Structure 1
Amino acid sequence: MRHTPLTICLALALAMTAGCKKDATTPADTAPTASTAPATAADAQARIDEHSYAQPDKVKVKDLALELKLDFDKKQLAGSATLALDWLDKGATQLVLDTRDLAIEKVLGERADGKWEDLKFELAPRDPLLGSKLTVQMPQRNARVRITYATSPEASGLQWLTAAMTEGKKTPFMFSQSQQIHARSWVPLQDTPSVRFTYTAHVLAPKDTMVVMSADTDPKAARDGDYSFKMPQPIPSYLLAIGAGDLVFKPVGPRSGVWAEPTAVDKAVAEFADTEKMIDTTEKLYGPYRWDRYDMLLLPPSFPYGGMENPRMTFLTPTVIVGDKSLVALIAHELAHSWSGNLVTFSTAKDAWLNEGVTSYVENRIIEDLYGRERADMESVIERNELKEEFTPENTALQALAVKPGVLKDPDENLSSTVYTKGAWFMQFLEQRIGRAEFDAFLRGYFDHFAFQSISSKQFADYAKANLLDKYPGKVTQAEFDAWLYEPGVPSTAPQVLSARFDAVDAARKVWLDTGSLPAASLTGKWTTQEWVHFIEGMPKTLAQEQLAALDAAYHFTGTPNGEIAQRWYPLAVRSGYTAANEAISAFLQRVGRRKLIIPTYKELVKTPAGLKLAQDTFAKARPGYHPITSTTVEATIAEAAGGKPTQP
Structure 2
Amino acid sequence: MLRRTLLTSAVAVPVLAACVTPTTGAAVDPMAPLPADNSSHAQPAVARVTHVSLDLEADFARKVMTGKCKLRIASAPDAREIVLDNDNLVIRSIKANGRDLQYTVGERRPTLGAPLTVQLDGADEIEIDYESSPGASALQFLEPAQTASNKKFLFSQGQAILNRSWIPTQDSPGIRQTYDARIVGPADLKVVMSAEMLTPNGETAGEGKRAFRFRMPQRIPPYLIAIAIGDLVHHAVTDRTGVWCEPSVRERAAYECADMGNMMRVAEALYGEYRWGRYDVLILPPSFPYGGMENPRLTFLTPTFLAGDRSLVSLIAHELAHSWSGNLVTNAVWGDSWLNEGFTSYIEDRIGEELFGIEETRMAEVLSWAALQQTLQTAQPAQTVLHQDPAPGADGPPSTIVYDKGAWMLRTIERIIGRNQIDTYLRGYFDRHAFGPMTSEWFLADFRQHAVRGDAALEAQLMLDQWVYQPGLPSNAQAPVASGFTEVDQAVQAFAGGGAPAAAWANWNTAQRQRYLQTLPRELSRARLDALQAALHLNETGNSEVLFDWLALAVRNRYQPAVPALETFLTSQGRGKFVRPLYTALMGQGDWGQPIARRIYARARAGYHPIVQAGVDRIVTPA
Where structure 2 has 5 or more consecutive residues not aligned to the other structure, the ranges are 1-12, 205-209
Residue in structure 2 matched with residue 245 of structure 1 by the alignment: 230
Q: Which amino acid aligns with 1:571?
A: A
Alignment partners' CA distance in 2, 1:516 and 1:479: 45
Residue in structure 2 matched with residue 92 of structure 1 by the alignment: 79
The question of whether the paired residues in 1 share the 8 Å contact of 2:326 and 2:339 is answered with yes
Residue in structure 1 matched with residue 148 of structure 2 by the alignment: 167
1:105/1:293 Cα in 2 relative to 1: closer, same or farther (>3 Å)?
same
- Structure 2 residue 267 is the aligned partner of structure 1 residue 282: yes
- Structure 2 residue 486 is the aligned partner of structure 1 residue 503: yes
> Among residues 373, 398, 407, which one is paired with 1:424 in the alignment?
407
Alignment partners' CA distance in 2, 1:54 and 1:453: 18
Give the TM-score of the pair, scaled to structure 2: 0.94
- Structure 2 residue 613 is the aligned partner of structure 1 residue 618: no
Alignment partners' CA distance in 2, 1:68 and 1:374: 49
Q: CA deviation at 1:32?
A: 5.0
Give the TM-score of the pair, scaled to structure 1: 0.90
Residue in structure 2 matched with residue 37 of structure 1 by the alignment: 32
Q: Secondary structure at the match of 2:497?
A: helix
Q: CA deviation at 1:476?
A: 3.7
Alignment partners' CA distance in 1, 2:156 and 2:394: 18
Alignment partners' CA distance in 1, 2:439 and 2:185: 39
Alignment partners' CA distance in 1, 2:399 and 2:173: 19
The question of whether the paired residues in 1 share the 8 Å contact of 2:20 and 2:26 is answered with no
1:151-190 to 2 correspondences below 5 Å:
151-169=132-150, 171-190=151-170
Residue in structure 2 matched with residue 322 of structure 1 by the alignment: 307
Residue in structure 1 matched with residue 23 of structure 2 by the alignment: 28
> Among residues 192, 215, 225, which one is paired with 1:212 in the alignment?
192
Q: Secondary structure at the match of 1:305?
A: coil
Q: CA deviation at 1:550?
A: 0.8
1:197-346 to 2 correspondences below 5 Å:
197-217=177-197, 220-222=200-202, 225-346=210-331
- Structure 2 residue 66 is the aligned partner of structure 1 residue 66: no
- Structure 2 residue 94 is the aligned partner of structure 1 residue 107: yes
The question of whether the paired residues in 1 share the 8 Å contact of 2:282 and 2:298 is answered with yes
The question of whether the paired residues in 2 share the 8 Å contact of 1:349 and 1:411 is answered with no
Q: CA deviation at 1:445?
A: 0.3
Question: How many aligned positions are there?
Answer: 605
Cα deviation, 1:146-166, whole Å, max 9, x if unaligned, reads 111111221111111111110
Q: Secondary structure at the match of 2:39?
A: coil
1:130/1:424 Cα in 2 relative to 1: closer, same or farther (>3 Å)?
same
The question of whether the paired residues in 1 share the 8 Å contact of 2:107 and 2:114 is answered with yes
Q: CA deviation at 1:412?
A: 5.1
> Among residues 64, 69, 77, which one is paired with 2:65 in the alignment?
77
The question of whether the paired residues in 2 share the 8 Å contact of 1:58 and 1:87 is answered with yes
Alignment partners' CA distance in 1, 2:283 and 2:398: 27
Q: Which amino acid aligns with 2:56?
A: L
Residue in structure 2 matched with residue 6 of structure 1 by the alignment: none
Q: CA deviation at 1:636?
A: 1.0
Identity of aligned residues (%): 41
Q: CA deviation at 1:56?
A: 0.8
Q: Which moved more, 1:565-574 or 1:155-164?
A: 565-574
The question of whether the paired residues in 1 share the 8 Å contact of 2:112 and 2:393 is answered with no
Q: CA deviation at 1:557?
A: 1.1
> Among residues 35, 39, 49, which one is paired with 1:51 in the alignment?
39
Q: Which amino acid aligns with 1:277?
A: N
The question of whether the paired residues in 1 share the 8 Å contact of 2:369 and 2:479 is answered with no
- Structure 2 residue 175 is the aligned partner of structure 1 residue 195: yes
Q: CA deviation at 1:418?
A: 1.2
> Among residues 462, 471, 482, which one is paired with 2:445 in the alignment?
462
- Structure 2 residue 341 is the aligned partner of structure 1 residue 361: no
Q: Secondary structure at the match of 1:589?
A: helix
1:351/1:464 Cα in 2 relative to 1: closer, same or farther (>3 Å)?
same
Alignment partners' CA distance in 2, 1:299 and 1:447: 30
The question of whether the paired residues in 2 share the 8 Å contact of 1:567 and 1:598 is answered with no
Alignment partners' CA distance in 2, 1:120 and 1:274: 53
Q: Which moved more, 1:572-581 or 1:231-240?
A: 572-581
Cα deviation, 1:534-593, whole Å, max 9, x if unaligned, reads 111102222111111110111111143221012211121111011111122112101110
Q: Which amino acid aligns with 1:455?
A: M
The question of whether the paired residues in 2 share the 8 Å contact of 1:193 and 1:236 is answered with yes
Alignment partners' CA distance in 2, 1:450 and 1:177: 26
Q: Secondary structure at the match of 2:457?
A: coil
